[in-house]
Structure 1
Amino acid sequence: MSFPHAWDGRDTTDGGRRVLSDVLDTVSNDMHSALVPPGALHHRVTAALSNWQLDDAEQLLAGVERDPSPYVAAVPTADVPDGAPTSLGRAWADTLRAELLVRRLRVAGFTLVGDPVAGDSPAEPALDLHAGVAELIDGNGAPSREDADPRSESASRAALAIALVRSAKAAFDAADDDLQRAAGLARHARIELLSRRIDAAMDEAVEAASLLDPALPPSALLVDTLGTLAGVLADLELMPLALDYQRRAHETAQAAAADPAVLGPEDTDPDVLVAVAATRLGELCAELGEGLLDDGAPDSAAPYFTEARELAEQALAQLPPDAAGIVAAQVVHGWALVGLGEHAAATGPLRAAVRLSAAAADRDRLASARLALGRALRRQGEGRAADEHLVAALGLATEHGLPRLRRAALRELCTLQTDLDDAGRALPYLQAYLADELDRVDERRTRWVELFGRRKSLLETERAAGQLRRQAYEDPLTHLPNRRYAEARLDGLLAAGGVPALAVVDVDRFKSINDSIGHPGGDAVLRVVGELLVAGVRDTDEVCRWAGDEFVILLPDTTAEQGERALERIRAAVARYPWVELGLDVPVTISAGIASATRGDDRKTLFAAADGVLYDAKRSGRDQVVRLSALTQTRAPGGAPDAPAAPAPVPDAVPVPVAATPLDDARRALAAVRDEATGFAPLLDPPHPPLGSDRPGEPLLGPLPRFPQPTGPTPVAAGEPEVVWATGRSTEQVQALVREARREHPDRPALVLRAAPETLVALAAEHGSATTLDATAMAAAVGPVPEPLGRTTVLCASGADAPVAAEVAFVARVAGTAVTRLDAVSPRRVHALLDDGSLVADCLVVVAGMDAALATAIGPLTDVPVVAVPTSAGQPSAFGGLGALMTMLNSSAPGVVVSTIDNGYSAGVFAARVSRRSGGRT
């Protein structure tokens, strides 16, 4: 029988019936064992699904659609033992049918649970799965009905897919064959990935790994299962683990091919089995090499590209001339040549691979081939031809849910447009790439924290699951626990009612160390620092590598004063270490910030406090330890325990709502003694000050940037961004101002407004994933964006007002509130928007130039505060927005305040303050 990647999907022309007669063998209860891998029907359905040939897959499965509905309880069969082909056949029939339905949902734009794939489009609500279940039970709205409503059809498919997945899981759980169970779990993980359910996919992958004992005998099914699991792990961004499992798949394929007794007559040809496994391994090697190239480490990338080239050449030598697997091997071979700098040699074979993939309708392979060819052409300087192939690869990857290919295409397109000096085209690709990167990082953190609670049982179950989890929580360089572990452990300590101390440790001037002795020497320094940290703490304390040259130490049931004494000993030990042995002329030093928790603190609050005093230590000269006082949460002067807090300055890293005075400190200290529940949270995330201030000279919205400011401390709402106006400034000037703002206030974002596209591109290139961009608003935020509190709705009257509306929305979100945009709103739509709940918010902002009466129409109809923003986008007779301004100022509508013309910044900050106060009360 043929391997799935060797079938081109073109032999189902006769309604699938002729094919079915060739590949089906039927047991007495009408359940086809050919559906059980490595059955022929299973491989053909798999190939059709992988190539998105959904109609072909449905035809192949039509002959086995004789089972009862999963909504009807199955009658147990006493004479059929668990694990027999009957129950496995049922499980695989349900699994393949579920994947087919999920892929149809993706084409329709929905996930398995009914959410829109876009996720943030208010115009596309989630599906009503309850209605889908009802339609299935009633026999109405089934997917086969031609006159069915598209949303009802999608809801029915989603409901049926969920039921089929549950049915298949129950059948796999009842089977005695661990390998078949692992194969099913790996396939279910892929289904969950298609539906963007990352956490569920991770659960399935961990369970599948726990069943794949290294002692399992080689077989075609084991090779296929290991390869499927490797692909899932790669999509979960666990590339080292993916490489390990695919390497095991390749070794298993070689062992199976070497033993004639292992592969049966219906299995894949031994040479094809080994060649396909080698191709997949080579693809992962090339992908890892490409990542190292992007990180600026070509020497580290070269061994991976060399291995990928050798594997692809082996595969091409083993595959028959007419095998479809040749195209995949050619793509990997060409990719490896490009990585090794042999661009000209790669271009011809990659062009042939593009033509063959397109002819075979293998869309996954076509996307890979176009990406590799576009990469080769870009590096040869053929920009226009490269752009064509890269754009096509991006479209295919986006359409068919290939996240790794999509990110690679976005990265290549951004680099290409930057090389072509086309900042306007580079910016959208850069925005999309940064958004994908941020989502990926957040997803990885979330799914691993959730898996933390399950690690004990899985570690006791199988060694493979233990390896998976150990690598997930261990930093590969220092072999210390990593950031995932530190976050989960700290959450557990705080949830259990503990009062731990947290130390954040940073190696001083680490960049100069790397410059002096190279990156391998810098890695050695980090390992030694980690060892000295571990040697200097108690057995109950835990040292973790946070990121880069930063470490954290968890100190359970420890005060900041006790932690300070321990860190002082470690700081001295680091300074005394014989660093000359590593080639350094000057000693390595560390700086540390320590904070202790009290009741009511959470992880983010505690870390922000410790990180704040770390910056205080860095600004004060480095090579020192600074702690926060446990009573007032201000920096302890001179590091003395229990020092009076009244005159102590608050570190810049810890924002406060107003300038601290001795009387304020005394009041906070008294409240701490009385309430015993203050902690860091009230200080780090306080309510915003009243909109009217009783302090003389205090501005309503805080000081505007780059205008003359009053002398002395100026109260600024905690967490509001520092603002840099880019108008009239060069890119270099804006970058310098952003760096200064980040140094002065690392806890809040630096907000750049009215910036040119090239300035936004430069900011994103310098600050990476710390940058949030909005091309329409011509704005960027560099630094941590606060968690949203409350909601602001921005209404835009016309397309000409969109830039100002985008600026309002961007500023309000960066200032700390959730934002919804409603465009093209006219006065006659206001009643409809009120009726459907679209205007439910804590504050409304109306941006209007030509239709300045919109704010007047909304004001009397709602009790929500309304901010009216006149724009200069009106008729010529409106005198550059003066007409709209006068219309709004002369309105008698209650509850409406008016900003100056085109002033999206002030309106956004004002709306955020109102929304955060209202959201905090609810």
Structure 2
Amino acid sequence: MTRSAWDAWDASGGLRRVPEQVLDTAPPAVHSALVPPGALHHRVTAALANWQLDDAEDLLADVEQEPSPYVAADPGADAPDDAPVSLGKAWADTLRAELLVRRLRVAGFTLVGDPVTGGDSSEEALDLHAGVEKLIDGDGGGEDPRAESASRAALAIALVRSAKAAFDATDDDLQRAAGLARHARIELLSRRIDAAMDEAVEAASLLDPVLPPSALLVDTLGTLAGVLADLELMPLALDYQRRGHEVAITAAAEPGTLGPDDGDPDVLVATTATSLGELCAELGEGLLDDGVPESAVPHFAEARALAEQALALLPPEHPGIVTAQVVHGWALVGLGEHAAAVGPLRAAVRITSATADRAQLASAQLALGRALRRQGDVGGADEHLVSALNLATEHGLPRLRRAALRELCTLHAELDDAGRALPYLQAYLSDELDRVDERRTRWVELFGRRKSLLETERAAGQLRRQAYEDPLTHLPNRRYAEARLDGLLATGGAPALAVVDVDRFKTINDAFGHPAGDAALRTVADLLVDGVRDTDEVCRWAGDEFVILLPDTTAEQGERALERIRRAVATYDWSRLGIDIPVTISVGIASAARGDDRRTLFAAADGVLYDAKRSGRDRVVRLSGVTQTRAPGTSPLDALFGPPPSTGPADDTAPVESPEEDDAAVTVAAVQPSPLDPRPAPSETAAFAPVLVDPPLGSGTPSEPLLGPVLEPAVVLEQVPEQVVAHVAAPRPPAVEPEVIWATGRTTEQVLALVREARREHPDRPALVLRAAAETLVAVASEHDAYTTMDAAAMAAAVGPLPEPVGRVHVLCAGGADGPVAAEAAFVTRIAGSEVVRVDDVAGSRIRGLLADGSLFADADCLVVVAGMDASLAALVGATADVPVVAVPTSTGAPNAFAGLGALMTMLNSAAPGVAVSAIDNGYSAGVFAARVARRAMTTARP
């Protein structure tokens, strides 16, 4: 059996867990039987519920070979130190903890060693430290009952913590919820109400409404409903028990849902119907006590119908029939049919008196006493109610105890017997749960808030995983790698970075299909992870390229590790994946130098990766302590960050190997020259230099190609005059605007398909998605990962490399209602290739100050004015500014603005010069137009 070891109390006075070897000496079948809804779990649970503690201990004795988790593990065991605790062990610990807590209750103590009777008791609290010492020494307490109780409490604490750790580690949310609900029951037994609430809240947050029906789900919902009812949160308890009943009906109706060990489907439905009926009757009883009998009648009627349903489904000899009869009788009493209820309830008391089910007997006694009281039989009522009170007190049944106290107080108050009524009233008022009545409403709200918060945190965690996890390899993705590398460099560390590329990966895809290619990437990812240290991080960068972050590592150290991995990949049996050609990797490694940022470190590692490619592939090349610069156009990095500064004339004789030819949708290629531009690539000979300039030399300002100026790397040509060299070498705006995809009226799948098509057709420019819903934006970002730029306010996203910004555009927003259109205009302007400055809320008196100090126009090449209700703002800016203005009317504003038509007419009728007017709410057109103006302004401003 799995064992855990715990040391003695630490400095803070709490138990501290020490990892030990984990053994599993019990048969697996025993473990599986302990996991609900296993047969052994059911038997132990029934024994505990009926306070048959010796029977429960006998059942668990065959499972738990060692009586304590403090016993040291066998040093000769060959299990690993970090082997996980099984669910079977977790449930064994949970059930043993509940057994110990129930024994503590019998002895008069709680789990934390306090007397159950409360602060007015002469009994002192237990010394749990002494209990721990006795467990470690192997002495269970001897003849001292207090020491034995202390040992039980200490052992129960250790078992509960061990079980919680195991449940937290499991990926099975339903099993975890079942364990938490059971732990909430343990906390209630020990009168730790706040702890029970915390466990119940977390269990509820795990019970997703879309969980498939199963016997375990039914059992967990029922357990949670019972805990909530004991916490006096009856509406919540009723909701969860009703859901349990509905799940049971669904499970019974769908063939194959319930397994052979789950029992008779009809019995499952009947049991949940009985439990739901009991809660309905209890809620109705509370309404009667509150003086609103008309509100109680529907609840009693539902309880009666549910009990009759259960009686019709249960086999004649099934023990659940008695419980259903008690609920049925209780419902009849609530409906005023006392005479019809007394006979069946007397029979139920006789039957349960001969059984070991004390809770069932207490419930039958209470129902019969309640019926006799309302029928006028004072003596019989008092006898049965006192019996129910004693049973509920002895066996820790708080709801039954409170109900019995309330009935006895009412009985003697109706007889004007204040001497007997007063003690029951005092006990009722001093009950621990009754003292928190004033907090109960807050608890209901707190339960909902905590549950919602946990669900939100869990959903946020899932979104974070989606945002930072590659869906194919389940490695961290490029977005994570960039953020992590920034963090390592910001702390002053000296990490090394390895860039890994699968050689000729496109050949694998073409020859064996994309499924084989995906399998190869997953295998390479596994081999990379297996070959690095725990402190290293392997991330998928893009396509067939990976990066490895190596904290506090030199390039030489990284080279040795990556060489082992390279050999592991080269010698791997790829035929098992159906790939009968060699699969190899090339690796470039660089260590961070002083002043390096993410861009320069990646450029260094990426540069030596290309050295490895040129040298024949299947090799590891390192570059230590410096950042490599390369000829422009040799790496996809240039498309993302721009070419590095030129360090001298280009070497036209060295062969330059292009990167692997992956699909354009995966790898972003470098920006290519326009096909309409006659100028050759920089590596052409100088004899073609005059063709680079059109018109010929000396004819004035050079003209641009038809589609606009083209971004080109720097070129040094001795034959060309200085002014022409300056023109050619200067940074140039992008050739074309982005591909636009309007999401309005399209599904998320349609938008994703159009983005993929745009990326395949035009890998050198971004695909721009406009007017997209939030779920569509999330889907785009998840699929295209680090290639996605997003603006939620603009409801827009861009996928692909962004051009270097040329020129500056100021976007002025009149008011808050115009914000979405202004956000769209600003986002499109940046994607179209210009820098953007947002100036919001410029309407009213604020515009005068901005116009007076000239800050609106400083360094701006174009202005975009977005206004609806304040449409005259465009004319005011146009009359004052000395730069072009694009006015965008919006449909927001006054009710009589005719959906933006009023703003449009105001802008069109303005006599202000230099103002162009866009269509209503058309931030896209305004952004593209402004970017073109800004780019052209920068072009004409060059010498």
TM range (shorter): 0.3 to 0.5
Larger radius of gyration: 2
- TM-score of the aligned structures, taking structure 2 as reference length: 0.44
- TM-score of the aligned structures, taking structure 1 as reference length: 0.45
